[in-house]
Structure 1
Amino acid sequence: MSVSEIGNEEFPEYGGPSRPARQNFEAWHRPRKQYVREKQWGNCIIDCLSEWDGKNPIRYFGLPGVDLTDIRYLVQSVCKVHNRKLYFLGMEAAAHPGSDLRARLEIGLHEVKGEKSVDSSSDVVIDSLESLGNDNSKAWSTVRAGEPFDILNIDLCDGVLKRSSDSSPTIYNALHQLMGFQSKRTKPWLLFLTTVLDEESVDKEVLEKLLERLEEASSSCANIVDWSVGNSSLPIWNRWSEWTDDEHSLTSTSASIYNWLVLNANSSTQHKANLRAAFAYKTTESAVNHNMISLAIRFKPFGSVSAQDPAGLSQLSPDPPIDMCATLEQFFSKFRSRTDLDDKMIQDSDLKTKMENNLMSLFSWDESERGNYLNWVKGFRS
């Protein structure tokens, strides 16, 4: 296997000790997360395959974790089944040299890059997602050295609206950079966003700015009254002084994030946006409402003339702007009918078992490790 570069270092083909027995597991090993991989991410990717150039690898950017679980799923269930290659660029902030996480990442890369379906230049950069907001970072240099991606998977453990310290790069800079980078695309592409939305993870000042943009985009829409949710008669962009775990707060916050992403995608190139799937669940048993959402968004570039000729020589007219009212109406319709992953697993024990088995099939776990996993997952209803 070729030398694999991580961060500013290089290390050769993995030659360390054998893989340690797996005893501990994480939230992304739960059956409901496997359902997201299969029924949201996998289905949306498969739907787009005919629109992407089959001669080139699928280009994927994400936060796969040291076990590369999401990558393993794409290789096994998308690339091998549909005879496609995969190029992936991942980011992982915690796998520092000498750590157990680093060893697990090296083993994972060795296993995954040994697959014929995986492009040998695929890699994981040791840095945070926020570093992409720094023009001089290794991560951003790696991204812009290549072509735009078919898939951006921003799968966060915390909140996209959680404020960083003023002195550190922010996730907003990173997402703004990535969305601008994607403007070079001429074919449809996918954005997956998973984020916590609750009182602790939503910065009020950040949300206030996003709600202002949502009001600008939707206040003139004819059917705005139909977008109110629950028992609320308030406008969907209504501000509040305190976070409440209700449907209005969740929907308006989600809509404001969606609106911001669409506006960023259209900052230099026109993109039609479509919410393809919306899943949600609770991160704690005590949560009143869903506080983790998973959105799948399809962006389709269109048009070719972005501005009027300043000299007036060209007879071409700029392409009309996207219809934000229709875009947001489609979002609200889809989000209201989102899939409740907890209920889905609780109501269908056979489905839960299937997701557990599918997850285990991604790894070369022995009988003892599979037993450890099944004992662990018994503690969760989803």
Structure 2
Amino acid sequence: MTLTLQDAKKHAEQLDRQDGLARYRNQFYIPENEQGPLVYFCGNSLGLQPKKTNEAMQLEMDKWQNDAVKGHFTGDFPWMTYHEFLQETGAELVGAKPSEVVYMNSLTANLHFLMVSFYRPEGQKRKILIEDHAFPSDHYAAASQVDWHGLDVDGDLLLLKPRKGEDTLRTDDILSTIDEHADQLALILLPGVQYYTGQVLDMKAITEKSQQHGITVGFDLAHATGNLEMALHDWGVDFAAWCSYKYLNSGPGAVAGAFVHEKHHDKDLPRLQGWWGHEKNTRFDMDNEFKPAPGADAWQLSNPPILSLAAVRASLEVFKEAGGMRPLAAKSKQLTGFLRQMLEDCCGDKVQILTPKDAQGCQLSLVIKADKPGKAVYQALTDAGIVVDWRAPDVIRVAPTPLYNSFHDAYRFVETLVAEL
């Protein structure tokens, strides 16, 4: 059925009435202007603040005020083991075991620390496979790792490119590239969701192909965690890292997450060592003999920033209350599908959707094909209270998230967009 704007509005109202997750919108602070709440479709850049966050952070502020150094061992959430309170729910969100997940550092720092262990070039097996249009920080990290090992960045960084005239990568092309260069690849580092196009990569198939050739594979899950259902443990992914300020709603610059598959936990891998990676029962023996903590905890270096972890803990509680990623992914598929249908039916050929139809994530990447420049359309949307983002050279990224966005939000976006085209 082709939707008109009038039909779409009625359908949005009906879908919102039927939405079993609608109540979670009230657990977030929605920015407003003079006309009321904004349509916030920018969770792929910075998620909104859960109302639980203030309470979680104030709890630690009060403990610092009243207990000072004793706060490392007092209260419901002792600072000494605070990161452990995030492991169970954090692991469930990515399909892992709690021992495989740790929250520490920032995303790019975690990629570097993990590549110390998992990028081990030897002989002709020394290349890293990444995408040609990787997020710049990922490209910088991979290139600098190649350079750190004294290798040739131009020759040893293998770049995946879409076919001529296409915007996204084909899974068959990724797999055939792995086959073709298997004897030269030391590491594959790809995103779960491509930041620019919103394409969801087939992580399971990529991992299986990598394992056939004995190639280590890691994923940047910045745009996947809190967005997609994943099964990192079952897929056999070697390592992964993600930020927590996008779909995980933990605040700007919040502590990031890392995954190390349990098959690597007992291996004598090279790693950068720090006090917090030492197993906790003998950490205070102060004998300068490093004994790695079990699981992913061994990759920690320093004691973490508790106030930032408190914000992560508060956000993860909301995910747990909502039932985890399965119901959220189901709503996301319906919400983003509704948005896509409205765009196709109401905007015609004035808007090109780069994101593949089979993508299961929140994000749709749009290119404006009307006479009005895309940047001008983006600015008009912003002025009308629609919060999306612009990525050069010509993409408007739109990300309706299931925890705090409504179907009426999607309708308002399309209604405003149609008026500006």
Q: Calculate the TM-score normalised by the size of structure 2.
A: 0.27
Bigger helix share: 2
Higher relative contact order (CA 8 A, sep 6+): 2
Structure with bigger gyration radius: 2
